[in-house]
A and B are shown apart, each in its own frame.
Chain A
Amino acid sequence: MKRFLAATPILIALVLGAFFLWGLNPERDPNAIPSVLISQPVPEFDLAALDGVGVPGLSQAYLTDNPAPVVVNVFASWCVPCRAEHAVLTQMVERDGVRLMGINYKDKPEDARAWLEDLGNPYERIGSDLNGRAGIEWGISGVPETFIVSGDGTVLYRYVGPVVGPDAEEKFATALTQARAINGAGT
């Protein structure tokens, strides 16, 4: 008992130290919100096409029966980081053959149209989420957010914020490779 009591200060210091070590980890983002959508089926939503862009709208049905994982990107013309991310997404589509779906979040259709005409349209389908309701179904907290959805419509990965910069792009590429491996193993 005496020996145990003598050891308590060291024990307390160890526990606190471990806590601080965990708290000081630069990789840890205290603002990160765990997503409930991971490993869940794609939420129910049905969005009309963005007029004049030439690609069809997006709904749950188009995400549940694909041969390979697809990437779903939530974007808006008013979102500045989306502009930087656009180049990365375009490169993914052109270089890596990624199939990219877009949700145009709370945007004016004419603004979104001008934005896509200016930067180019890497999206295979774009759903126009005028009131942000589909965004809530996806549990997004802001724009941009990017999801990887498996061929059978399971949400595998969520990236909050723009996929821009070596770290983010590598993280996303790793997740995509894993998603493709899972899909390959399943079929």
Chain B
Amino acid sequence: MIRIVVLTALILIALPLASHAVEPDEMLANPVLEVRARAISKDLRCVVCQNQDIDSSNAGVARDLRLLVRERLMAGDTDQQVLGYIQARYGDYVLLKPPFKPETYVLWLTPLILFLIGSGGAVAVLARSGRRMANADLSDEEERRVSKLLAQTGRNEP
């Protein structure tokens, strides 16, 4: 009985691991390189099933690219060189994180620009309302009348 429970638990624990597309025969014997390969694969977009990284894609081309990544790592490439190798063939499109360059300035800088416009507007509005408050200063005579009125209401309160 216990054996069945343990076995079931082990299978359930192993289940999420099976959801990865990386197949055992692709993996490198060197665990350090394999970890690097997995990390690189997560940054590369599958060109067939777009918006999926090649690490989790079952497409044929994704598998070929995974093997290529591992081959380049075995040949002694750095992570950057591997990404560059594939980028040279498939363009910026394969990088899930687009590079920062003139064509992508709009993409990267728009949030910052919108934030600056928004905060600039907020500051301007706040400053103007502050000035209006300053205009609302009362003369000495008015202050005296206000305090008198306040004192009266205070007395009427229970």
| Least Cβ–Cβ distance between B95 and chain A, in angstroms | 12
Inter-subunit contact A139/B48 (CB<8 Å): no
B90 cross-chain contacts in A, Cβ below 8 A:
33, 36, 139
Query: Which of chain B's residues 29-86 have a Cβ closer than 8 Å to chain A?
Result: 47-48, 50, 60-61, 64-65, 68
A11 and B86 CA atoms in complex are apart in Å by 41
A33 and B50 CA atoms in complex are apart in Å by 10
Inter-subunit contact B89/A33 (CB<8 Å): no
Please pick, from B50, B60, B68, B89, the residue contacting A139 in the complex, using a CB distance under 8 A. Answer: B89
Inter-subunit contact A43/B91 (CB<8 Å): no
| Least Cβ–Cβ distance between B51 and chain A, in angstroms | 10
Chain A CB within 8 A of B93 CB:
yes
Count the A-B residue pairs with Cβ separation under 8 angstroms: how many?
A: 39
- Give the bracket for the number of chain A residues in contact with chain B: 10 to 19
Q: 1/0 per position for A10-36, CB-CB distance to B under 8 A? A: 000000000000000000000101111
Do A136 and B68 contact each other (CB < 8 Å), given the known contacts A141-B48, A142-B61? yes
A51 and B89 CA atoms in complex are apart in Å by 29
A139 and B90 CA atoms in complex are apart in Å by 5
Inter-subunit contact A34/B91 (CB<8 Å): yes
Inter-subunit contact A139/B91 (CB<8 Å): yes
Query: Which of chain A's residues 109-161 have a Cβ closer than 8 Å to chain B?
Result: 131-133, 135-142
Q: 1/0 per position for B83-122, CB-CB distance to A under 8 A? A: 0000011110100000000000000000000000000000
Inter-subunit contact A142/B91 (CB<8 Å): no
B68 cross-chain contacts in A, Cβ below 8 A:
133, 136
Inter-subunit contact A35/B91 (CB<8 Å): yes
Chain B CB within 8 A of A106 CB:
yes
Do A36 and B89 contact each other (CB < 8 Å), given the known contacts A131-B64, A136-B68? yes
Inter-subunit contact A142/B50 (CB<8 Å): no
Inter-subunit contact A142/B64 (CB<8 Å): no
Please pick, from A43, A131, A137, A141, the residue contacting B47 in the complex, using a CB distance under 8 A. Answer: A141
Query: Which of chain A's residues 2-61 have a Cβ closer than 8 Å to chain B?
Result: 31, 33-36, 43
B48 cross-chain contacts in A, Cβ below 8 A:
141-142
Inter-subunit contact A34/B61 (CB<8 Å): no
Given A106-B60, A133-B68, A140-B61, 10 more pairs with CB closer than 8 A: A33-B47, A33-B93, A35-B91, A36-B91, A136-B61, A136-B64, A137-B89, A139-B89, A139-B90, A142-B48
Residues on B facing A (Cβ under 8 Å)? 47-48, 50, 60-61, 64-65, 68, 88-91, 93
Q: List 22 A-B contacts (CB under 8 A).
A: A33-B47, A33-B90, A33-B93, A34-B91, A34-B93, A35-B91, A36-B88, A43-B89, A106-B60, A132-B61, A133-B68, A135-B61, A136-B61, A136-B64, A136-B68, A136-B89, A137-B89, A139-B90, A139-B91, A140-B61, A141-B48, A141-B61
